Amino acid sequence: MMPAREVGPTGPITIDRTSPVPLYFQLAQYFESAIRSGALKVGARLENEVQLAEMLGLSRPTVRAAFLYLANKGLVVRKRGAGTLVANERIDRKVELTSLYDDLAASGRKPATRVLKAEVSHASDQVAEALQLPERALVMSLERIRLADGEPMALMHNYLPAGLVQLNVEMHEQHGLYELLRASGIGLYSATQRMGAKNASAAEARTLDETRGTALLTMERIAYDQAGRPVEFARHLYRASRYAFTTSFSRPEPVVG
């Protein structure tokens, strides 16, 4: 076993080279314990990879693997120019017919919106098909960044039939889309939704304060009103390091007889 070194908020980090537990996981467990105990507060910066590797006699890839493990669990975020920081608690969202704005507010986070685009344009083939509109019909096209406590969470693209509702940029910045639809008398009663994943492009990474190639969650949703008419088509990108979806399943009742 290598000598313990006095680094970190909870005393020495001990790396046992004779243990079957991988070295990166030993290091990750130390920081995870410090974060969960509150010894490392939100926003605290972890040691630089190179410095930590030298102090502990580890390779830089080993330290990087430990930090990646923490990032994948949503415990830290890696920011350009700032290093590796302890993150806010990951948002865990139940898959149901609610908006991200509503869910953030309900979880005690402070939601905010940065509107990148709000314009009427011709629908693409995919959007027209989703909203059951004629080819090149006019739609309200929205592109927004959703933030929680000032931190970007998602890049959202929403499409509504033109003329469905009159909304301005200020309204989008201060309220969630579903909240605005409800206030306009438009109820959402059902939806079809598809989840997926992709690697962030350079532009997406810049927008979401991630690194290029980072895993992102994808979501496509078509929401319907009480009459079964599609009123919204959404394509969203979520930071997988800061966000998760939870789905509950129940076993069907057995057939008797």
Q: What is the pTM of this model?
A: 0.61
Q: Dihedrals φ, ψ of 116, to 5°?
A: -95, -30
23-86 shares its CATH topology with 91-246: no
| pLDDT given at position 91 | 56
* Distance from C-alpha of 28 to C-alpha of 49, rounded to nearest angstrom: 13
Sheet holding 138-148, edge to edge: 111-122, 138-148, 151-161, 230-239, 215-224, 190-199
| pLDDT given at position 107 | 66
Three-state DSSP at 234 gives strand
Could you report the per-residue pLDDT of 74-121, keeping only the tens digit for each? 788 877 677 888 877 665 555 445 666 666 666 667 888 999 999 999
Pairing of strands 83-86, 91-94: unpaired
Domain ranges in the chain are: 23-86, 91-246
Q: Which fold has domain 23-86?
A: Arc Repressor Mutant, subunit A (1.10.10)
CATH 3.30.200.20 fits 91-246, yes or no: no
